[in-house]
Structure 1
Amino acid sequence: MEFTSAAAEQRFDELVAAADRCVVGLDFDGVLSPIVDDPARAHIHPDAQQVLVELAEVVRAVAVITGRPARQALALGDLDAVGAELGEHGKELFVFGQYGNERWSSTQRRVISPRPPHGLSTFERDLPAVLRRADAAGAHIEEKGLAVAVHTRRLPDPVAARERLLDPIRELAERHGLVIEPGRNVIEVRSPGMDKGHAVRTLVAEQDAGGFLFAGDDLGDLDAFAAVEELREQGLPTLLVCSLSEEESALASRADVLVKGPEGVLDLLRQVARRAD
C-alpha cells in the first residue's frame, strides 16, 4: 500500500475515524477478482468474502459497483452468501451491475433491471463488419443483456487492436443511440445516462453516508472517482484507491492510495476494518 501524498495519508486516518458512517464501493474485476482472459472465469479472490464480512461490521454499507451483469458478479463472487452472512450482523450488501443499470441488495435478493436499450440488437448485427474492417475479427464479443463488450485481450496485440477499434465502434454506437465505455483491453457499448458515479451518489443519498471509500482499476471507474471527489469538496471523509496494473494507469494520478491488484485491495480493507474496530 502506497499513499500518494501526506494529505492522502491524512484522508485515510479521517475515513477510518468516521468508518461507521462510511460506505465502501468496490469494482469487481481487478479489485476483488484478478483480471483473466476469459471474463466468465474471473472468480473472486479466495480471501475476499471474509474480508468483506469483517469490513461490513465497521462501516455503514458495502457495495460492489461493476460493469458486469449483476447476476454474473453474484455468481462469480458468491455474493449472495456474503450478503446472507452480513444480514446476520444487521448489515446490507449491494451490487450495482452494468454501471448501475442493474441493482441487487441482500435484503431484497432480486435483481432489478430495465429493458435492453433500443438499438442494441441492430448494433450487434452491424458489429462483425466493423471488426473485420479493423482487422480484429477474432475479438471476443460478450453479450451482457443491457450492453455488449468487445474484448481484444485474446488478439496478438490487444492494446493496438483496441486503439484501432475505438473510433469505428464509437461511430457505430452513436448511430444506434448508444455510448462506449473503454476499459482494459475492452470496449463496452451501452445506453447513455448511467455510470458508476451515479451509483455512488445513489448510495450516499440512500444510506445517508458520512463518507465514501471507492476502489477501482480501470477507465470505467473514472466517473466513480469524480463523484467521490465531489463528496470530498463537500467536506466528507473520502478515500480513492487505485488497484494498479501494467495495462491501465488512468486512475493512479487521482488516487490517494496505490495497491497491487486484489491482494493489495484486500490488505487495505483489512487495515480499515482492524483500525476502525
Structure 2
Amino acid sequence: MSASWQATSARGGDIIESIANDPDGTLVASDFDGTLAPIVDDPGAAHIDPAALAAFARVAGLVGQAALVTGRGLDSVRELGRLDDTPGLERLVVKAQYGVETWDAATGEVTRPPLPPQIGQAEQRVADLLEQLGAEGIDVTGVGLEDKGRALGVHTRQTHDPDGLLARLREPVAAIADDLGLHVEPGRMVWELRATPGTKAQALDALLTAHNSRVAIMIGDDLADITAFDRLHELAAADGLQVAAVASSSAGEQPVVEQHADVVCAGPGGVAEWLNAVADAIEARRGR
C-alpha cells in the first residue's frame, strides 16, 4: 500500500494478487475525467495526466483487456487522452457516451448511431432559461453548456455559487429534459441531459461478455461510476468473479463514491501509483 492509495475492503486488499495470478483473464476499465485526467473548471480543457497515462498503458500491455468507460464523446476522449498514438494501448476498447459509442483500437472499428436532434434543442432551451433567470436578477455568470453530441452538460463549477446554482437549476433543467425525452444524470457540479439512458454498468457488462473476463476492475470517481461498482459486486457474489471497485478521490468531491469502493486513490496521481503496483506484481510473477 502507499500514501496515495489504500485498500478499504478485503477485496481491495486481495485484488492485486488476483490480477497477478490471472493477468490474461483480467479486464481493467477506467473512467477518464477525475481518474486519468484531473478535474478542471472547463471540461474542454481537460488533458490526461502523463503519469496516469503511462501507468494505464503499462497495465494495458500486461492484461487481457483494458478499456475506458466514459460519459464523454468518443472523439473528445480519443483526442484529450492521446489514445491513438500511445504505445501499450493498441488493444484498447473505448465505451464512450456510456457505451453508445465504441472504438476498438485493435481493429480501428468505430460504432455509433446518428446524433439525436434533441441535444441542440436542449442547448437552446437551457440558454433561454439562463437568460430568463438573469433577467430575474439571478447571477448565472459562469454556467457552462457543453455539447457532447449525445448529451448536454450544464456546468456550474465556474459560477460564484456552484452548489446553489446546481440546486436552483435542477427542476427547470429536468423539465426541459422531460419535455424533450432526455434522461438527466447528476455529476460533479453538472446536470447532464442524455439522449440515451444507458449506464456504465451496462457498458461494463458488454465488455465482460465480449472478453470472458475472470477478474475485473473499474476505476471511477463520479456518481455515474457507482452503477459499475455495484455491478461488479453483484457479479462477484453471483458468479465468483474476482473484482475491485477503485475510486479516485479528488479534493473530497463526491465522497459517496468512496463508500462503494474497495480501493481509494488520491486522484489521478494515486490511480497511477495503484496501476503501477498492479504492473509491478504482474511482472514480478512473470519473473521479469
TM-score, length basis structure 2: 0.88
Aligned to 2:72: 68
Deviation at 1:132, TM superposition (A): 4.2
Q: 1:24 aligns with which of 14, 25, 28?
A: 28
* One-letter code aligned to 1:262: P
Aligned to 1:45: 49
- Give the aligned CA root-mean-square deviation in angstroms: 1.8
* Partner deviation per Cα, 1:184-236 (whole Å, 9 max, x = no partner): 01111112331211110010011111121001000121221122122212210
Aligned to 1:148: 152
Q: Does the Cα contact within 8 Å between 1:3 and 1:9 map onto a contact in 2?
A: yes
Q: Matched residues in 2 for 1:171 and 1:213: separation?
A: 36
Whether 2:190 is the aligned partner of 1:191: answer no
Specify the SS of the correspondent of 2:114.
coil
Whether 2:209 is the aligned partner of 1:205: answer yes
Q: Does the Cα contact within 8 Å between 1:51 and 1:270 map onto a contact in 2?
A: yes
Whether 2:267 is the aligned partner of 1:268: answer no
Structure 2: segments with no counterpart, 5+ residues: 284-288
Q: Matched residues in 2 for 1:190 and 1:268: separation?
A: 32
Deviation at 1:123, TM superposition (A): 2.1
Aligned to 2:111: 112
Moved over 6 A (4+): none
* One-letter code aligned to 1:106: A
Specify the SS of the correspondent of 1:23.
strand
Moved more, 198-207 or 55-64: 55-64
Q: Does the Cα contact within 8 Å between 1:131 and 1:137 map onto a contact in 2?
A: no
Whether 2:249 is the aligned partner of 1:244: answer yes
Q: Does the Cα contact within 8 Å between 2:141 and 2:159 map onto a contact in 1?
A: no
Q: Does the Cα contact within 8 Å between 1:117 and 1:190 map onto a contact in 2?
A: no
Whether 2:153 is the aligned partner of 1:121: answer no
* One-letter code aligned to 1:244: S
* One-letter code aligned to 1:227: R
Q: 1:180 aligns with which of 178, 184, 188?
A: 184
Structure 1: segments with no counterpart, 5+ residues: none
Q: Does the Cα contact within 8 Å between 2:17 and 2:281 map onto a contact in 1?
A: no
Q: How many residues align?
A: 272
Q: 1:238 to 1:194 in 2, by over 3 A?
A: same
Q: Does the Cα contact within 8 Å between 1:131 and 1:165 map onto a contact in 2?
A: no
Whether 2:263 is the aligned partner of 1:257: answer yes
